[in-house]
């Protein structure tokens, strides 16, 4: 069943969240999956596990409590949001693989522009080397198989900037929320929070590393990648 793409433009976060929740609650086993691509006006969103101490100084920017996983993040103009509304049971994979596929779509989108994105073990999302965002060397802290019984390593963000965040909600085997890719935005609001719950984690966007592209242009690439990679 083909996923339907919808380009929503710039829409309020709260109304989009309500629409996702309504769609997911009403869908049946026959409902086609959808992919919504959009931007939001400035807003901080706090996940279910979010701690108030990660909101350092929100100021005039609204804080919305939401039902995705994770901690606090920021959305604003110049950031591309992708919300796949997908039936995971019908697609035939579990949450861990779903997260992997979301990250893979982001990595392929960055690669389209010659940018090398990276995964960091224990920290969902996509990261860039600040000094060499176009280099291909592997990260030492990338996800790797651990010896049985060994403890997971703590994420190491030294020298990295986060370019894409990920947060999802699963209800009745169906996923909503999704990913946010920083394209060309005002990054200063990230200084008012501990992004994704990590003190000192730096945010970065494509414009900072010299790529002059728009959200509309990147939406075409990310949309195609998500539709291909999320296919059953």
The residues annotated as belonging to the active site are: 196
d(CA 54, CA 185): 21
d(CA 168, CA 125): 12
Contact 126/164 with Cβ under 8 angstroms?
yes
d(CA 108, CA 112): 6
d(CA 182, CA 205): 5
Helix extents (H) in the chain: 13-26, 88-91, 95-112, 215-229
b/e map 95-125, b = 16+ CB within 10 Å: eeebbebbbbbbbbbbeeeebbbbbbbebbb
First vs last Cα of the chain: how many Å apart? Answer: 9
d(CA 53, CA 194): 9
DSSP letter at 208 equals G
């Amino acid at each position: 069943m083909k996923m339907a793409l919808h380009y929503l433009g710039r829409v309020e976060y709260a109304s989009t969240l309500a629409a996702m929740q309504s769609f997911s609650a009403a869908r049946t086993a026959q409902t086609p999956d959808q992919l919504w691509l959009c931007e939001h006006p400035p807003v901080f969103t706090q996940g279910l596990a979010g701690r108030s101490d990660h909101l350092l100084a929100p100021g005039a920017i609204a804080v919305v409590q939401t039902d995705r996983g994770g901690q606090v993040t920021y959305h604003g103009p110049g950031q591309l949001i992708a919300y796949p509304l997908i039936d995971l049971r019908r697609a035939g994979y579990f949450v861990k693989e779903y997260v992997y596929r979301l990250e893979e779509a982001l990595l392929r989108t960055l690669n389209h522009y010659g940018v090398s994105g990276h995964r960091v073990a224990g920290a969902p999302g996509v990261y860039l080397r600040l000094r060499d965002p176009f280099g291909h060397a592997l990260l030492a802290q990338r996800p790797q198989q651990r010896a049985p019984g060994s403890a997971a390593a703590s994420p190491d963000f030294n020298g990295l900037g986060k370019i894409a965040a990920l947060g999802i909600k699963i209800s009745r085997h169906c996923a909503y929320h999704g990913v946010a890719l920083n394209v060309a935005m005002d990054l200063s609001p990230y200084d008012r929070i501990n992004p994704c719950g990590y003190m000192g984690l730096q945010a970065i966007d494509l414009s900072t590393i010299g790529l002059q592209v728009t959200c509309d242009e990147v939406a075409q690439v990310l949309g195609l990648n998500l539709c291909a990679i999320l296919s059953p």
